[in-house]
Amino acid sequence: MALKLSADQEEKWEDFFFGRSGGHIDKAPAYPLLVCRNCGEPYIEGWDNRESLLPRQDLDASAERRVLRLSQERIIAMDEGDQDENLPLDNDIEIMDFNPETGELEDGPGEGIVSLQMLDLKKDQEERKSYVHRCECCGYRSHQYAEPITPVYPGDDALAAVATQALLEALPEPKGRSPQSPMKGRNLLVFSDSRQDAAFFSPFFERTSRDQAIRSSIVSALKEADEPSDLRALRDRVWRKLKEDGFQLYDRRDPSPMSSEVAKDRLLALLIAEFCSGNMARISLEAFGLVSVRYQGEERITARLKEAHPSHADLLPDVVRFLIDLIRRSRAINNFGGVIDLTDSSVWGEALASDRISWAKTDASGRRQRSLIPKGNSNRALWLLTEQLKIPKQEAADLLSDFWEQAIRTRNRTLTAHSSSGHVLDLAALQFTSGETEPLYRCSTCGAKSHIHLAGKCGAYRCSGEVSEVEQAERTAANEQNHYVYRYKGHPMSGIAREHTAAIGVRERTEIEERFRRGEVNLLSCTTTMEMGIDLGDLEAVFCRNVPPGISNYQQRAGRAGRRAQVAPIALMMARNNRYDQSQFNDVKSYLEAVPSPPYLALDNPSFFRRHQVSCILSGWLDHKLSGQQRTGAPKLVHVLGETLSVDDEKAIKADVETWLASENGKMNIEISERLIDLMPSNLSTIGFR
């Protein structure tokens, strides 16, 4: 989506069009719209060539990327575990002024001029691209993607994953499959025209499918529990829920599923990451009010603070919970007795994969340690107490100091000593309950939601907004109207997906196909390699991630479903956001009614036939060259010809070919190629090599 801007409109835009890039509306530039993945804050993207802000990069290759914030609010509401003490003040914010009708840059604000905040971009030296590193509204930093912001249409994988998951779950449970198979053995072929698309889609689908199943099981398990659950109890309840649908976990380096013991430890790490990484806080289980997290020792700490600070007794329960939440979401945690690996980037993401994250009372040492009481002007905790709750600064510092001393006491079991001379949250202190019966509060300014009231003040860093309780009717409506809540309160199943393309070695591909037949793999993300020729057993459905290039391709793919006379096979096709797919979608009746061209091959084609003869000989030599190699996956040219190809290397290869041709295997392959001529009609017996 691209926006045409206007200085006269309150929201700074007046028209739009749907598209993957910017363009023009009535000769005025229309800039691509981007939104925060976490809070939905809107931004626009343009390219600055020192004279104008262009809507597309191809209009001037030398132009530099700019990302501008549409909102005029000058807050940065940090609603996660991030508490950056170096956030820009208002006088540090850089503003870009330009004419929305022409894109021409101006020296300052004026009539008809749009003035927008310009984000600080960080340049990646390897990719030579500039990226946004933090949302200016909620402070979200992405641990999975290059940027925390995304186009309104974030790509085809997300939409395809939703459609694929819905189709798989809608299929009937197949007969004759093991009840321990993932998704009860349901199968689906997913076609892509691009090998790269097929390769990327399988891990994307498996991750999103797994995450939804885990979150749904958390919600269901806590709703059924009659008492608070610690981490191990929650893990066991979630495990039992997931195993009802044959849940399995795989190590990325091992083709076999993890054993139950290893998988349960891995699930424990994923559960901890769900609640301790601060990732995607606006669409988390806590933000939707589905899960509530409390702590052992929380009440004892509160009681001691009430004795020391009686004038703030009413605030202290929420303040204590807020401070422990702050430490938890910064991922300052222990390793739970060595069960979890705090350096595993596949669990925590690259940014949080560290065993050095901790907190100190004051005087933090090292990049990974934070101070509860800052040396500088403020941090999130001190800012909340002084600016939002209006507690005098020295009194607020004393309160934080007293909280720290109580939290690190052994009997309170809240914070535990860390090797970095700091402290971290003891994961054994976590207590989980369903949050659906607790009040949920939302800020009227930044939109952050929380179970904590804080005297009606928002807890997001540098947000001065006030909170009000979310109506129960709105929370009930979200069960059907909010995609995430609907999925988390539903029954999504976790599927296993694998790539099936020409890049996969023959042995590995054969094993994947066999596991697919048995129902151990639910989804094959494939290209045209699967259009014909491979028997995968009973298939009830296929999914095309794009409109196939011709009706014959569509018929081959759709025909994979229902080959054995199953009832009502399904072929689902998705039109991607490109010209070809959209044009075919707009006239899909004509596309489906098109008649495929009959296959045709002219036998009177010496060039084609002789190439086939040469390939028979060459295949034998390649087998000879690659024999004895232990590599997995498809071989590459470098495995045959070596790292370099000098004149001497060419001579050596030529000599090797000649030696092999004179061998018994070489002569046998030559004979095979010559015998091909005998299969041709008599009038074409001269077109091949003899």
CA–CA dist 191, 557 (Å, integer): 8
Q: Which two structure tokens, joined as six digits, stand for 484?
A: 């995430």
What pLDDT digit, counting tens, does each position of 497-550 carry?
A: 999 988 888 888 889 999 999 999 999 999 887 766 666 777 889 999 999 999
CA–CA dist 625, 636 (Å, integer): 12
Which residues are paired to 467 by β-bridges? Answer: 443
Note whether 15 and 39 are within 8 A (CB).
no
Q: Which two structure tokens, joined as six digits, stand for 603?
A: 């036998």
Per-domain boundaries in the chain? 2-151, 606-684
Give yes or no for residue 91 having a pLDDT over 60. Answer: no
Q: What angle do CA 20, 26, 27 make, to 5 degrees?
A: 80
Identify the pLDDT of residue 495: 96
How does residue 92 score in pLDDT terms, banded at 50, 70 and 90?
A: low
What pLDDT digit, counting tens, does each position of 349-361 carry?
A: 888 899 999 999 9
Percent pLDDT > 90 in the chain is 62
Q: What angle do CA 592, 594, 597 make, to 5 degrees?
A: 130
How does residue 279 score in pLDDT terms, banded at 50, 70 and 90?
A: low
CA–CA dist 450, 470 (Å, integer): 10
Tell me which H or E stretch contains 360. Answer: strand 358-360
Question: Higher pLDDT residue, 563 or 124?
Answer: 124
CA–CA dist 165, 186 (Å, integer): 11
Instruction: Please provide residue 552's backbone torsions phi and psi, each rounded to the nearest 5 degrees.
Output: -65, -40
Q: What angle do CA 499, 505, 506 make, to 5 degrees?
A: 105
Identify the pLDDT of residue 592: 94
Note whether 242 and 249 are within 8 A (CB).
no
Give yes or no for residue 81 having a pLDDT over 50. Answer: no
How many C-beta atoms lie closer than 10 Å to residue 629's C-beta?
9
Rounded to the nearest 10°, the torsion over CA 348, 350, 354, 359 is: -80
Task: State the sign of the Cα–Cα–Cα–Cα dihedral 458, 462, 464, 465.
Answer: negative
Identify the pLDDT of residue 246: 93
**Average pLDDT value for residue range 125-131:** 84
How many C-beta atoms lie closer than 10 Å to residue 659's C-beta?
11
Give yes or no for residue 15 having a pLDDT over 90. Answer: yes
The one-letter amino acid at 34:
L
CA–CA dist 378, 87 (Å, integer): 11
Identify the pLDDT of residue 82: 47
Q: Which long-range contacts (CB under 8 A, 24 or more apart) does 441-447 make?
A: 441/467, 441/468, 441/469, 441/470, 442/467, 442/468, 442/470, 443/77, 443/467, 444/468, 445/73, 445/75, 445/77, 446/39, 446/75, 446/77, 446/79, 446/137, 446/138, 447/39, 447/40, 447/282
Give yes or no for residue 88 having a pLDDT over 60. Answer: no
**Average pLDDT value for residue range 261-267:** 95
Average pLDDT over the chain, rounded to whole?
A: 89
Give yes or no for residue 313 having a pLDDT over 80. Answer: yes
What pLDDT digit, counting tens, does each position of 110-123 carry?
A: 999 999 999 999 88
Identify the pLDDT of residue 561: 83
What pLDDT digit, counting tens, does each position of 402-440 carry?
A: 999 999 999 998 999 998 789 999 999 999 999 999 999
Nearest to 44 by CA among 104, 91, 1, 93: 1
Mapped onto helix, strand or coil, the DSSP state of residue 298 is helix
Identify the pLDDT of residue 73: 56
Give yes or no for residue 16 having a pLDDT over 70. Answer: yes
CA 508 to chain centre: 26
Question: Higher pLDDT residue, 592 or 38?
Answer: 592
Question: Higher pLDDT residue, 339 or 143?
Answer: 339
Strands 467-469 and 497-500: unpaired
What pLDDT digit, counting tens, does each position of 183-242 carry?
A: 999 999 999 998 999 999 999 999 999 999 999 999 999 999 999 999 999 999 999 999
CA distances from 180 to 218, 518, 519, 523, 548 (A): 20, 11, 10, 16, 35
CA–CA dist 487, 494 (Å, integer): 12
Give yes or no for residue 565 having a pLDDT over 60. Answer: no
What pLDDT digit, counting tens, does each position of 341-398 carry?
A: 999 988 998 888 999 999 999 988 888 899 999 887 778 899 999 999 999 999 999 9
Of the given ranges (279-283, 591-595, 660-664), which has the lowest mean pLDDT? 279-283
Which residues are paired to 442 by β-bridges? Answer: 449, 468
Strands 2-5 and 13-17: antiparallel
Identify the pLDDT of residue 72: 65
Q: Which two structure tokens, joined as six digits, stand for 528?
A: 């045209």
CA distances from 408 to 334, 338, 404, 415, 418 (A): 13, 20, 6, 5, 11
Identify the pLDDT of residue 86: 47
What pLDDT digit, counting tens, does each position of 51-71 carry?
A: 999 999 999 999 999 999 997
Strands 42-48 and 64-69: antiparallel
